[in-house]
Amino acid sequence: MLSRRNFLTTAAAAVATPALASAGQGLKLAFIPQENPEKLLGDIETITAWLSQELQVPVTGFVTFDHAAAVEALRNGDADISFMGALPFVLAEDQIGAVPLLSEVYRGQPSYAGRVFVRKDSGIETLADLQGRDIAFADPVSESGYLYPLDLFVREGLVADAGDADRFFGQKFFAGGYQQAMQAMANGLVDAAGASQYADLYLTPEQQAEIRVLGESEQIPSHAIIARPGLDAALQARFVEAMLRLNQAENRYLLAYLYGPDGYVAADPKVYDGVRQMARRYGYLK
Amino acid sequence: MKYLIASALIGLLPLNAGATAIEEAPWAPRAAAYRLSLFMANLTPVPWDKIEKNWTAPAPGSAVAVEALSRVSDRDARNIRAALAAEDRQALFAAATTALANGILKHLEKAEAMLGQPEAAFEVAQASALYRAFEDGILAADKQAARDLGRAWLVLNSSLGSSGVLGNGAQDADPVRFAKAQAVITEYIEASYLPTSFAERSKLTPLPETAVRAGTAAVLPATLPPGSNIADQRDLPRLVLQFEEAGEDEANLPLVAYGDMLFDSPEIFGYPARDLGIACSTCHNRSDVNRDFFIPGLSSHAGGMDVDSSFFNPMFNDREDDHLDTPSMRGIRFTAPYGRDGREPSLRRFVRNVIVTEFAGAEPTPFQLDAMVAYLRVFDFLPNPQIDQAGRLTDMASEAAKRGEVLFNTQFAGLGDRSCASCHTPDRFFRDGRAYDIGSAEPPFPGGTATAFDTPTLRNVNFTAPYMHDGALPTLASVVDWFNETKGLSLDAEQRADLTAYLQAVGDGEEPYQRFEGRDSVFRLSWEELTTFASTLDTLIPLRDAANIAVLVDTVAPDLAADASVMTNQSAKPEIYKFAAILRSVGDASAAGDWAEAGRQWEVFKTMQDEIDGRMF
């Protein structure tokens, strides 16, 4: 999850509209911007060119503002397929019937965890010690950057629900992304950060040596590639086959153009059950 | 091995990295132009043409390829242009600082107007990206202000609201909270970066005006400008050490191991190189060349820099913008004299020159020089089966290369009735130990004498592009073309291709880059090297050599901890931190003269090394 997208904190504009995607009969991919949207635009060109060749249909791509815009694009047909985190996916599934096609693999796993980090010199030893202290999460619509780390406090009986978190913590911030949350913690602006298990890699090596993990959530399905409902089943299947060919040695260099996972596996809709339950528990799903 | 970390670190960091070289996140175009302008305006002489390009062309290190001037208001752009035209440092500082501060405030105003919409987050991110250019200045001058402002940015991001996903997970914006945080930032920026006039500055820095006028003692950490790259190159060169190839272990050669450590140690350099984490290996990466090394203002292109500028050692400043291409050190014991101009007859003198003269370090001790020379002397060339011991092509070379070999040994009138081989002598490692003016440099004044340059070896030259002393020629083919044209060799296209094929044959090498796979990871290489460095304590502790132990510990302990961030086996990371702390204890005890404790901690270190070795990848 090292170079994962930051949902609401794009570093620069360069946000295209769906209208830039081909209006023809090909496949339209929606990408979520990460720290460098311009790089993403270049990446899209490379990956869509390869997919066009593999699928023998025109494949185009565009960058959306955020996950919400990507889901909106899937709903109104401006996009056929989108890259998506597990939480926004289950929300999209609920709203428009989006289907998961592929899951990213990082460090050999199609899953990861959320963690609560503190500075070693903070004197904080347990989650309970964070009562009345300040915490920075990444974003309210983030599984590893909010819900799963928050759930650690709920499971320990420290917090009743999301609303109760404001009572437990001194102040609860949404810093805008993993990196901002981790920097706020490492620089002493807050006492703790809730973020992806790999978010410490956003810190300098010196900062990494000065922090510790206070808690780790259950495993979360990794980011997914999802499709709008009604997308031609044969085209979907061919897309999945093509993407799985990225795991082959001769194609692996292309993964660097796709948020840098180690590879992909076909998605199993059941693995999102935990995320669905989590979304319901915290009021994200009815 | 300090810099291995950077070659594998994908995460991009917004802040100064401290002593460990890492790759920075790209900068917002205006912030990049601003920081580059400060850095370059502090050079002597000031490179005004380069400063202007930072604003009128996409700046190095910029996240988006747009001209910074296109993103400032008309008024701010006019002021910046006027300062550039007048070549006025103070006016440039005032105009650029004002433009950046105005940008921050404007983006925050836009964000406020768009609260509750996704665009608000984007505007806050833009403002924050500009604020980054001032952030280290504020932190250095006023820690409390830096903290208050940092908290204000958190509040801004937290009060933006979110529309969720099609309404699911939506959160309301909090305009009151947003406005309060905005006021904190706005008031500080107006007071500190938008004064009526700026105090005169001998050095341009992002320190807030309030602190400068108050005379606040503030120490800014050394930084390089946006677009700098002092991290290891991505394809790490293969290091060929004579004794290793022969089956010997470096841990059994303490003088070599200590020299290896010094080669990787910023501790032997002075400010600012030491503070930036620059070591010999930063440029001479694993005995070869770091082709990615680049510092805007000092490097005209990647793979070298002006080593005698005002930045690293003002005493050594020749006031000329003269980029030097970094030479490979493979087989260096065969390639005396040293320095591109061959001014240093021995490796020992050359090493001392680099430490003291180029990078402002303290005078090295005779032992340190002995160690470094011992290490450099075991660098070998990459094996190349296309040539024999006398430098003649073997049967493995192509027919084109063999035709090129004939041309290489042919005398030309344009070469003074000499051949290429006369200077690049095949049986002397394709060099002759002499310096020549071949017309690659201009005389310093009309009628003056141009610098003569040492004949470089052609061994392993395939991996050291670009070529010539200033790296002016990108390929070996372009080098052949240059000689053909400037020396009137009259070679046709086929002959030039043959001669190029010959150079490529003699310049080749087996397995030029290090391979990493599975547990044989970047960190594993670092682990093995750093623990080998530490093994010299077996020699230094009995000698009670506290000074050299201190250099070793100050180099190896932080590197161990820093390199942990690139471990494949992240679960073993805490063990490395503990391991590094034990080494630090060895240093503390030896500094205190408690040799029994130093010895005890050293044994603890070695025991732990054995215990955790299998997990270190």
Q: What pLDDT tens digit does each residue of chain A (286 aa) get?
A: 223 222 222 222 333 333 333 344 689 999 987 655 555 666 788 999 999 999 999 999 998 878 888 999 999 999 999 999 999 999 999 999 999 999 999 888 999 999 999 999 999 999 999 999 999 999 998 999 999 999 999 999 999 998 899 999 999 999 988 999 999 999 999 999 999 999 998 899 999 999 999 999 999 999 999 999 999 999 999 999 999 999 999 999 898 888 878 899 999 999 999 999 999 999 998 8
pLDDT of residue B4: 37
Yes or no, beta carbons of A205 and B154 under 8 Å apart: no
Q: How confident is the model at residue B24 (pLDDT cuts 50, 70, 90)?
A: confident
What is the pLDDT averaged over residues B551-568?
A: 93
Does residue A136 belong to the interface with chain B, where contact is any CB pair within 8 Å?
yes
Partners of residue A68 in chain B, C-beta under 8 Å: 118, 163-166
Q: Is the pLDDT of residue B334 over 70?
A: yes
Which range, of B5-14, B44-53, B92-101, averages the lowest pLDDT?
A: B5-14
Q: Determine whether A250 is exposed, middle or buried from the number of CB atoms within 10 Å of its CB (0-12, 13-18, 19+).
A: exposed
Task: Output the average pLDDT for chain A.
Answer: 88
Give the mean model confidence (pLDDT) for residues B269-283. 97
Cross-chain CB nearest to A202 (options B13, B150, B574): B13
Between B617 and B13, residue with greater pLDDT: B617
Chain A residues within an 8 Å CB radius of B20: 204-206
Among residues 562-601 of chain B, which lie with CB inside 8 Å of chain A?
562-565, 568, 570, 573-574, 577, 580
Write the Ramachandran bin of B417: left for phi over 0, alpha for psi from -120 to 50, otherwise beta. left
Asked if the model's pLDDT at residue B110 lies above 90, the reply is yes
Predicted pLDDT at A41: 65
- Structure tokens that stand for A283 in this block: 């009021």
Cα Rg for chain A, rounded, in angstroms? 19
Confidence of residue B22 (pLDDT cuts 50, 70, 90): low
B402, B393 contact by CB (below 8 A): yes
User: A188 and chain B: CB distance < 8 Å anywhere?
Assistant: yes
Report the gap between the CA of A58 and the closest CA in chain B (Å): 28
> Which of B168, B178, B526, B573 should one mutate to test binding to chain A, selecting the residue with the greatest count of A CBs within 10 A?
B168
Contact at CB, B125 and A9, closer than 8 angstroms: yes
In this structure, the strands spanning A192-196 and A135-137 are parallel
If you average pLDDT over residues B452-459, what whole number do you get?
Answer: 97
Mean of pLDDT values over B70-91: 98
Average pLDDT, integer, range B33-37:
98
Choose among B18, B64, B119: nearest Cβ to A14: B64
pTM: 0.90
Residue with tokens 């005379």, as numbered in its chain? B215
Q: CB contact, 8 Å: B9 with chain A?
A: yes
> What amino acid is encoded at B212 in this protein?
V
Is the separation of the CB atoms in B568 and B519 below 8 Å?
Answer: yes
pLDDT at res. B518? 84
Show the 3-state SS of B241-257: EHHHHCCCCHHHCHHHH
CB atoms within 10 A of CB B310: 18
Instruction: Share the mean pLDDT of chain B.
Output: 94
Predicted local confidence at residue A32, as pLDDT: 84
Q: Both tokens of residue B253?
A: 């050669």
CA B5 to centroid of chain Cα atoms: 13
pLDDT at A227: 97
Q: What is the mean pLDDT of residues B544-560?
A: 97
Indicate the Cα dihedral angle B380, B381, B386, B389, nearest 10°: -50
pLDDT higher than 60, residue B272: yes
* pLDDT confidence tier of residue B15, bands split at 50, 70 and 90: very low
pLDDT tens per residue, range B399-431: 999 999 999 999 999 999 999 999 999 999 999
Q: Given an 8 Å threshold on Cβ–Cβ distance, is A8 in contact with B22?
A: no
Q: How far apart are CA B375 and CA A280, in angstroms?
A: 63
β A211-216/A27-31 pair status: unpaired
With tokens 């009969």, the residue in question is A25
How large is the average pLDDT for residues B464-482?
97
ipTM of the complex: 0.86
Q: What is the structure's pLDDT at B23?
A: 63
Say yes or no: B518 contacts chain A, CB-CB below 8 A: no
B480-520: pLDDT as tens digits: 999 999 999 999 999 999 999 999 999 999 999 999 988 89
- Dihedral of CA A12/A17/A22/A25: which sign? positive
Two tokens at B44?
Answer: 């002597």
Q: Of B71, B154, B575, which to mutate for an interface test with A (greatest number of A Cβ within 10 Å)?
A: B154
Dmax (CA) of chain A: 60
pLDDT at A256: 82
Query: What pLDDT, on the 0 to 100 scale, is given for residue A21?
Result: 37
For residues B397 and B387, give the distance between their C-alpha atoms in angstroms, rounded to a whole number: 8
pLDDT single digits (tens) A31-87:
987 655 555 666 788 999 999 999 999 999 998 878 888 999 999 999 999 999 999
Question: Burial of B505 by CB count in 10 Å (0-12 exposed, 13-18 middle, 19+ buried)?
Answer: buried
Q: Using pLDDT thresholds of 50, 70 and 90, give the confidence band for residue B118.
A: confident
| Cβ distance of A187 and B150 shorter than 8 Å | yes
A212 chain-B contacts, CB cut-off 8 A: 574
Q: Which of residues 129-168 of B touch A (CB under 8 A)?
A: 129, 147, 150-151, 154-155, 157-158, 160, 162-168
Q: Can you read off the two tokens belonging to residue B367?
A: 């032992």
Length of chain B: 617
Average pLDDT, integer, range B164-177: 87
Report residue B501 CA to chain centroid gap: 32
Q: Per-residue pLDDT for B1 more than 90?
A: no
Q: Shortest Cα distance from A124 to chain B (angstroms)?
A: 17
Is the pLDDT reported for residue B351 higher than 90? yes
